[in-house]
Structure 1
Amino acid sequence: MFSTHAPKRRLLLLGAPVAAVALALAGCSTGTDAGAGDGSSAVAAVIKGLDNPFFQAMEDGIDSTAEADGVDVSVQAAADIGDTTGQADKLTTLAGQSFGCFIVNPISGTNLVQALAPVAAAGAPIVNIDQPIDAESAEAAGVTPATYIGTDNEAAGGKAGDFVVGAVPAGSKVAVIGGISGDVTSAARVDGFTSAVDGTLDIVQEDAADWKREIALTKATDIIAANPDIAAFFAANDDMGLGIVKAVENAGKTGQIVVVSVDGNQDALESVQSGGLSATVAQYPYAIGTLGVQACQVALQGGDLPKNIESPTALVTADNAADAIAKFPQPFEDFDNPLAEQLGE
């Protein structure tokens, strides 16, 4: 939840320099002769694969904010969205270097837990972004994140479901394409969607496409063939949503089947504007990256962080797609930054 004591601050200003913090953190190095938590003010970030534009935008938010605020940051990314072992190896390497704070965006709830154990033991703050670390596994390893920053994924799925309910007749057939089976983020978005359409629409199939466009294309192609009267699809991310859009186009049903996804990547916003995707529930990975760096700044100053920081979401349709594109990668709606007060803004 957001701090009720923080002043209102538009996220458009999230990347602005923070003079006091910049003076304290400027000029730090990332030498390799000491371990995590040795008093360094340098920040390490480990994120998901840059094969997905969502995480490209997240990296941009981290890098841009660090540059503006004078923070020494090193970002490492997994080889792809499924590279759980490679991502953990990158974190293990960084954990042996001199970083004072760690930003982690794990591929799964557990794949970075063991690599974080020495970080936690050394006393370095851990800022968990986007994908929550599994609480039970973290507790067993002695890992306690300083804060979690991310989307309310169930609410995001609910926004998509509400849109579909308003876009197709009651009783219509819909299909759901989730990410990796068992993934907590995907499950929350799917749960939010299914709850929103429950009792109004008929979910004829639910499948997983591992967050990947080409797999979603194949799955949707098969679903359309088996259900020629399908009225809508929900995809748990934009990449899969765009794969479904291609399947709809290949079937000659563009404009006849509603397709809604979650993320708000630039190519998805452009698809909404051009009539491919019907809507996307936009998250702001750039803002998540920015908030991650700012949370490390607060932690390194000894400040108190909220247990959870909810990043903004907004439903983007043909009516507001142009505005969303014009302001991308920043949110086009106001957002109260709960870290503003501690950053002296």
Structure 2
Amino acid sequence: MSRAPHLRRLAPLAVAASLCLVASACGSDSSSGSGGGDGSVAAVIKGLDNPFFQQMEAGIDAGAQDGDLEVDVQAAADITDTTGQLDKLNVVAGQDPGCVIVNPIDGTNLVQGLAGLAAKDVPIVNIDSPVDADAASQADATPATYIGTDNTEAGRMAGEHMLTLLPEGGEVALIGGIAGDVTSNARLDGFTEAAGDGVSIVQTVSANWSRDEALTQATTLLRANPELAGFFVANDDMALGVARAVSDVGRTGEVEIISVDGVEDGLNGVADGGISAVVAQYPYAIGEMGVNACRAAMAGEDLPEEVTAPIALVTADNVQDALDAAPAPFEEYDDPFAALVD
């Protein structure tokens, strides 16, 4: 049957309570209960050494509380722990979950484990980083739904804003994550498409999602390009390294820096003027929507094939609103899965 869009926005107090619960669980592999049984949800996500995935876990926890579900959250050791993450998936698969949420490190590292779940008709909800469609199809393990950021659109939003900051044009450098990474490439491509001929892109480099590497790369770029007017950076952590490099040469406020993520440190960078703007994506909302998708799947509802998570441009004008609501979105957004089960 047709349902009206379901708009979500969590009060900061509720968000804070959820984060407190998650913080108490970060020392172990389990977030909310031990899992097991047809009514349980298991989640296998990337490493909790990154604040982005800490916020994702907080959203999963909030969704579990809202739906009165048991959730077992397992996290990889770090962004390179592909084999360890598969081992985590195999552990939760053995607990007979009613639904599994996966946030794979790469497109194929979890496919073997997903095939076993699919063979038992366990719904699979894919969040944030997509499972490779061809590999999943060959394994007969296509997820029931995918929930994630439109990274190309996030890059476009950043490119459009850079044009407003540099109306007369100027030289801009791009700093991506890991070379060849799909997410990073989509953000860089979106920026390049939107910026068009309005700026001159002098160089694109990779900094492996590392603040320290971004500091080094930006320092080199600034020395080689003394007229550099802006940076687009594929995540906030690297942008903070870029901001340090810009500060070190005494050009804070002269060189525009725009990044993607919206983690608290990035928002604080906007608030203190080191970063010009961030395109905020919301791992908290992605995690919560993932749990709601599992609730709907376990209730027998048909899930949409793909759902785009919210993004928002955060500048000095609205950064306090973003900080007050963090880690939840500060603007309303549509959660079609909550509409299926409410």
| TM-score normalised by length of structure 2 | 0.90
**Structure 1 position 29, deviation (Å):** 5.9
- Tell me the SS of whatever aligns to 1:120: helix
- Greater Cα shift, 87-96 or 290-299: 87-96
Does structure 1 conserve the Cα–Cα contact (< 8 Å) formed by 2:289 and 2:338?
no
What is residue 307 of structure 1 aligned with on the other side? 305
1:55-134 residue pairs with structure 2 within 5 A? 55-134=53-132
Write the deviation string for residues 201-249 of structure 1: whole angstroms up to 9, x where unpaired: 1111111112121111111111111111111111111111111111111
Residues 109 and 184 in structure 1, CA contact (< 8 A), matched pair in contact too:
no
Q: Indicate the larger mover: 63-72 or 157-166.
A: 63-72
Query: Which of 158, 161, 182 does residue 159 from structure 2 map onto?
Result: 161
Task: Name the Cα RMSD after superposition.
Answer: 2.0
- In 2, the alpha carbon distance for the partners of 1:235 and 1:294 equals 32
Corresponding residue number in structure 2 for 1:217: 215
Normalised to the residue count of structure 1, the TM-score between the two structures is 0.90
Cα distance, 1:4–1:184 mapped onto 2, change above 3 Å? farther
Residues 179, 186 of structure 1: 8 Å contact kept: yes
In proportion to residue count, which structure has more strand?
2
Q: 1:28 to 1:301 in 2, by over 3 A?
A: farther
Question: Is the contact made by 2:155 and 2:189 (CA closer than 8 Å) also made in structure 1?
Answer: yes
Check the 8 A contact 1:6/1:340 in 2, yes or no. no
Cα displacement (A) at 1:285: 0.8
Q: Which amino acid aligns with 2:69?
A: V
3-state DSSP of counterpart to 2:271: helix
Moved more, 237-246 or 89-98: 89-98
Identity of aligned residues (%): 56
Partner of 2:40: 42
Once residues 8 and 99 of structure 2 are traced to their aligned partners in structure 1, the CA distance between those partners, rounded to angstroms, is: 25
Q: Are 1:178 and 1:236, in contact at CA under 8 Å, matched by a contact in 2?
A: yes
1:284 and 1:313 in contact (8 A); partners too: yes
Letter in 2 for 1:293: V
Which segments of 5 or more consecutive residues in structure 1 lack a partner in the other structure? 17-26, 32-38
- Asked if 2 retains the 8 angstrom alpha-carbon contact of 1:161 and 1:197, the reply is yes
Task: Classify the secondary structure of the residue corresponding to 1:255.
Answer: coil
Q: What pairs with 1:1-345 in structure 2 (closer than 5 Å)?
A: 5-12=3-10, 30-31=35-36, 40-344=38-342
- 1:86/1:336 CA distance change after superposition, 3 Å: same
Distance 2:2 2:269 in 1: 37
Which residue identity does 1:320 align to in structure 2?
Answer: N
Q: Distance in 2 between matches of 1:208 and 1:244?
A: 12
Deviations 1:163-191 (A, max 9, x none): 11110144411111111222211111111
Who is 1:36 aligned against?
A: none
- Aligned partner of 1:21 in structure 2 is none
Shift of 1:340: 3.0
* SS of aligned partner of 1:176: strand
Instruction: Figure out how many residues of one structure are paired with residues of the other and give that number.
Output: 325
User: Displacement, 1:13?
Assistant: 7.2
Match for 1:281: what amino acid? V
User: Aligned-pair distance for 1:115?
Assistant: 2.0
- The alpha-carbon deviation at position 41 of structure 1 amounts to 1.6
- SS state of the match for residue 339, structure 1? helix
Q: Contact (CA 8 Å) 2:123, 2:297: kept in 1 or not?
A: yes
